[in-house]
Chains A and B, each alone.
Chain A
Amino acid sequence: MKRSPLDANASRNLIYILPGLLVYLALVLGPIIAAIGISFTEWNGIGSPNWVGFGNYAKLLSDETFYVALKNNALFMVFYCVIPIVVGLLLAALVWSLRQREQFALRTLLFLPYIMPTAVLGIIWHWLYNPAFGPINQALKLVGLGSIALPWLGDFTFVLPAVGIVASWYFFGFCMVLFLSGIQRIDPSLFEAARVDGASGSRIFFFITLPLLLPEIRIALLLTIIASIKSFDLIFTMTRGGPANATLVPNIYMYELGFQLNRYGYASAVAIIGAILVFTINYAVHRLVRPVNGGSAS
């Protein structure tokens, strides 16, 4: 890096970096390192921790509940990632052909959930799904589908899709806006040329729009996969992982183990696995989903 005219010797520079850095070290990085340490111990939060090495991790390998949480997390990815990205792509392709004002109005409405607290959205949807007086079942009864008006969040089979749909609802507008900004980046003459050659709308979408949107798709994948691994607020406020662990995910499991069962060492191991998953997926998506032109959109 070219030396900036503002640069001075390190001792005089440190005053700018140190205050923030110390706060960060004390309250984020320190706790992260401590969490790794605690994950190698057995600790009930009161006595002194008992060093068990990789014991907690070994126990996790044969912990069926943990596998249930991982399996649920994988299923949630369909709702966190696949549905929002597919719907987002579809909507972006459609909205693009509209007039600017209408585009703007739709964009504003569809983006709205993304700025909301997911915890509060969870509470709102908990009410929408209420079996007796929730609007969803009332609407089903009104249109004569009373027979399928289930107690959604209490039903072992339907609870995961019911919670998952809320995540899809939260993310699809964001994905659409992301893809729309990607489409606007594409050179319009490409579309013109394709149309002059007589390509149909769907061919243009699959052979021009989609490949050129790969950088945005990659970002959407990354964000939604990580959001699914980080998911806590929405599931906690809607079901707390129930019924019978049907919506349990690693973060909820971590919370139960730690703050309800006082098994802090084991809970930390679960948390560390979650963090490792985030890093691995981040790395994998960066490596595997590459933009066609090799350029870096991000």
Chain B
Amino acid sequence: MSRNFHGIGAVLPSRIILWLFAVLTVIPFALLILTSLKSRADLIQGAFVLPAYPHFENYANAWIEGHFNVYFLNSVLIVFPVVIVSIILGTLMGFSFAFLSFPFRRTIFVLLTIGMMVPTEAFIIPLYYEMRYVGLINTYAALILPQIAMSLPFATMFMASAMQQLPLEVIEAAVLDGASRRYILSKVIVPLMLPSMSTLALFLFIWTWNEFLIPLVLVNDDNYRTLPIGMLFFQGRYTVNTPVLTAGAVIVIGPLILAYMLFQRKLITGLTAGATK
């Protein structure tokens, strides 16, 4: 089968356009990495000049003096509980919507979709006061709990639609064997759901890692800042030290690039298909 219906000749101009856009997309990241390896003296030579040798000390400076070690650890300490608890609660709720009947089922579903649409900015003020009232400002809990709650609508619908696609015979067979519900969920359904759960984990990881408004508003102590916020404040403190700033940026996006390289197919198809939900 030939997808290449124009023939090679006609394809050339379109390839040039496409690769031009690809270069435009990648250049900021390439410049970022290049600059993160320069000394400040190299920087004066021009943005596109290669350094004499790579200055990895920028990373050490960002890591220690720029507090990116703190920010990185905070991001990790926040992302993992958010992802794990959201998946557990999302699986339970998804299970309910897929198989169980309970009062106000429809209403609850609508309420969840509302939470998916309303921007965080719309309820950040009451959320801030709620967190202040219960004394959680400047704690990890202030960053973890709201992000779990914000992940739940998507996690629930994602798990529910995945579970609805399970072959009913598998479940019926387990019921006939007299297995308890808890057993069926944990030993029959969850193992079959692992691929969906890993996709969900990947999405939640990226969204939580990238979250900006919640840590911007709910913590003001540098010891609790996550990477994106830490970077913003780093930029405020050392505007002139571009090599260290870019090294910091590479530290923030490094794990994302790694996840992207490992799971790109899953991520690309998942995020575009997820958009069509």
Contacts and interface: CB of A to CB of B under 8 A. Distances in A.
Contact of B6 (A24, A97, A121, A226): A97
Contacts of A28: 115, 118, 123, 146, 149-150, 152-153
Given A237-B232, A278-B118, A195 B5 contact: yes
B11 A98 contact: yes
Contact of A112 (B17, B29, B125, B272): B29
B79 interface: no
B68 to A, nearest CB: 12
A20 B152 contact: yes
A102 B132 CA distance: 53
A87 interface: yes
What secondary structure prevails in chain A residues at the interface with B? helix
Contacts of A237: 232
Given A6-B100, A178-B275, A106 B24 contact: no
Nearest to A94: B14
A215 B15 CA distance: 27
Interface stretch (A65-73, A128-136, A145-153): A128-136
What secondary structure prevails in chain B residues at the interface with A? helix
Interface stretch (A56-64, A74-82, A269-277): A269-277
A110 B21 contact: yes
A26 B149 contact: yes
B94 to A, nearest CB: 9
A219 B125 contact: no
B117 A282 contact: yes
Interface in A10-59: 10, 13-14, 16-17, 19-21, 23-24, 26-32, 34-35, 38, 45
Interface in A248-298: 251, 254-255, 258-259, 264, 267-268, 271-272, 274-275, 278-279, 282, 297-298
A158 interface: no
A279 B19 CA distance: 38
Given A7-B100, A115-B267, A274-B122, A97 B217 contact: no
Interface residues of B, number: 101
A223 interface: yes
Contacts of A232: 119, 121, 212-213
Contacts of B22: 106, 109-110
Given A5-B171, A31-B123, A133-B47, A10 B117 contact: no
B39 interface: no
Contact of A127 (B175, B245, B252): B245
Interface of B: 3-6, 10-11, 14-15, 17-19, 21-22, 24-26, 28-29, 31-32, 43-44, 46-48, 89-90, 92-93, 95-96, 98-103, 108, 111-112, 114-115, 117-119, 121-130, 145-146, 148-150, 152-153, 156, 168, 171-172, 175, 181, 184, 206, 209-213, 217, 227-229, 231-232, 235, 242, 245-246, 249, 252-253, 256, 259-260, 264, 267-269, 271-273, 275-277
30 contacts: A4-B99, A5-B175, A17-B102, A17-B108, A24-B112, A24-B115, A24-B153, A26-B149, A28-B115, A28-B149, A31-B123, A35-B125, A94-B15, A109-B25, A112-B25, A112-B26, A112-B29, A113-B25, A117-B227, A120-B249, A134-B47, A138-B48, A174-B272, A251-B121, A271-B121, A274-B122, A275-B122, A279-B117, A297-B276, A298-B276
